[in-house]
Amino acid sequence: MTRVGVSVVDITPPPGGAMAGFAARQAPAEGAHDALTVRALVVEDTALVAVDVIGIDAALSARVRARSPLPAQNITLAATHTHGGPVSMPGRLAGRADAEFLRRLETGILRAIEEAAQARQPARLYGGCGAEPGFASNRRHAGGPVDRGVPVLRFDRMDGTVLAYFVSYACHPVVLGADNLHWTADYPHFLRARLEAASPGAIAIFATGCAGDVNTGHSAAASLSRARQSDRTYDRARIIGEGVAQAALAADLAPLTGASGAGEGFDSLRFAPREVGDRADLARRWRAASQAPGDIHAIWAEWAEQRMGRKIDPMPARCTALHWAGARILGLPGEIFARTALDLRQSLGGTGPLHIIAYADDNPGYIPPREEFDAGGYEVEEAHRFYGMGASIAPGVAEALSQAAQRAAETAAIATAEGCSIKTSNNKESSHDIQG
């Protein structure tokens, strides 16, 4: 049997804090619609932690993993990417992170891991994939790529009751728009509630898949307006969340047996400036276009004054793999596009459940595959200014991260077979190490 523990910690801040995710939203939170949580799932000496924030930066992830009772290399820390949470990454997404909330966030994550580790008990694992519920669509290209389906893991106590669910779905949690002024996990809240209602005493964990270019039907431009949109309501979020949950509950799950392990793969985030011209002139033009303090053009102007033209060093990027009794969970940083996930699925193959999640261990912004750069658009040309990055991600980074994720999966497979965790080095060296 496999030892499994699960924990939930409430990290909901009080009203009045700055909300993250929409440039058009200037007002602070007025209260909470539902609790923001940290949910930790510990399997043997590995852990997946899902947090109801827009992103977790690499520094926080590293601190948490270093302080955890589990091996640091065995932990995947993922944000759900809700746009109904507070600013959670200092210096990113045009907002000031509240120091008290950052302390609450870090201690909450550590507490959840510790509680889940202490609560480990023998459990049986079941896995499969639910049918696509039909809510996800590519927001850049009509009929474009979507990583479809609802991968599911269920963990049962030895008495047959459900201990936990783990579900992923590749769709932005942005049903609620910029007019929402309440803390919320968005549709994942309703998804988890439906699963927990179906199995009293169970805890549901949700992670967002590769949804950088996928949401429930809105353009990127829609996020630049606070105008109320009739299809972006809590009722709609409930329909979507419960619909995804129902797909998970209807999935044909098979028993999973075997050992568990973890692996890491590393590469670098490289950047390629796209702006041309004098930064002072650009700043003046953007300020002239600004309609209100703090709107998108004001943010761009501030970015030009403070960030444009400065030297940008590559950033380290961590990809992870957890292998749980034949199920595989891959974690990649940032806003990964659906095409990257689909290519990974083809490369990895296999027959067991495969979750490919994004926003894991860091969120530096959009990481488009190479073919998307010619198409341009917000994610390629503009979003880095709002994210507070010095430039947009360079072509080829998504493909390099895909290779790093494959290396992590390979090392996790070895770790599972040998009963230990394995850490890879960078690029080609890691592949050489794996092969012998």
284 and 351 in a single domain? The answer is no
Bridge partners for 137 per DSSP: 215
The pLDDT, as a whole number, for residue 119 is 98
Going residue by residue through the chain, which has 436 residues, state the pLDDT in tens, using 9 for 90 and above.
899 999 999 999 999 999 999 988 889 999 999 999 999 999 999 999 999 999 999 999 999 999 999 999 999 999 999 999 999 999 898 778 999 999 999 999 999 999 999 999 999 999 999 999 999 999 999 999 999 999 999 999 999 999 999 999 999 999 999 999 999 999 999 999 999 999 999 999 999 999 999 999 887 766 666 677 788 999 999 999 999 999 999 999 999 999 999 999 999 999 999 998 899 999 999 999 998 888 889 999 999 999 998 889 999 999 999 999 999 999 999 999 999 999 999 999 887 899 999 999 999 999 999 999 999 999 999 999 999 999 999 999 999 999 999 999 999 999 998 865 444 444 433 322 222 2
178 and 287 in a single domain? The answer is no
174 and 289 in a single domain? The answer is no
Split into its structural domains, the chain has a count of 2
The pLDDT, as a whole number, for residue 226 is 66
398 and 289 in a single domain? The answer is no
Backbone Cα Rg of the chain = 21
238 and 123 in a single domain? The answer is yes
Q: Cα angle vertex 15, ends 215, 114, to 5°? A: 75
417 and 281 in a single domain? The answer is no
Rounded to a whole number of angstroms, the distance between the first and last alpha carbons of the chain is 31
CA distance 402 to 423: 17
Q: Which domain holds residue 71?
A: 2-267+314-435
182 and 328 in a single domain? The answer is yes
Burial class (CB in 10 A: 0-12, 13-18, 19+), 340: buried
* Paired tokens of 206: 């949700």
Pairing of strands 31-32, 182-183: parallel
CA distance 66 to 73: 9
Taken in order 170, 172, 173, 176, is the CA torsion positive or negative? negative
Burial class (CB in 10 A: 0-12, 13-18, 19+), 65: buried
Amino acid present at 379? E
15 and 95 in a single domain? The answer is yes
* Paired tokens of 175: 């049903």
The pLDDT, as a whole number, for residue 424 is 45
278 and 230 in a single domain? The answer is no
- In 131-278, the DSSP E strands lie at 137-138, 150-157, 162-169, 182-183, 203-208, 214-215, 254-256, 260-269, 271-272
* Paired tokens of 16: 């009045």
57 and 89 in a single domain? The answer is yes
The pLDDT, as a whole number, for residue 436 is 23
* Paired tokens of 377: 């658009």
346 and 397 in a single domain? The answer is yes
38 and 153 in a single domain? The answer is yes
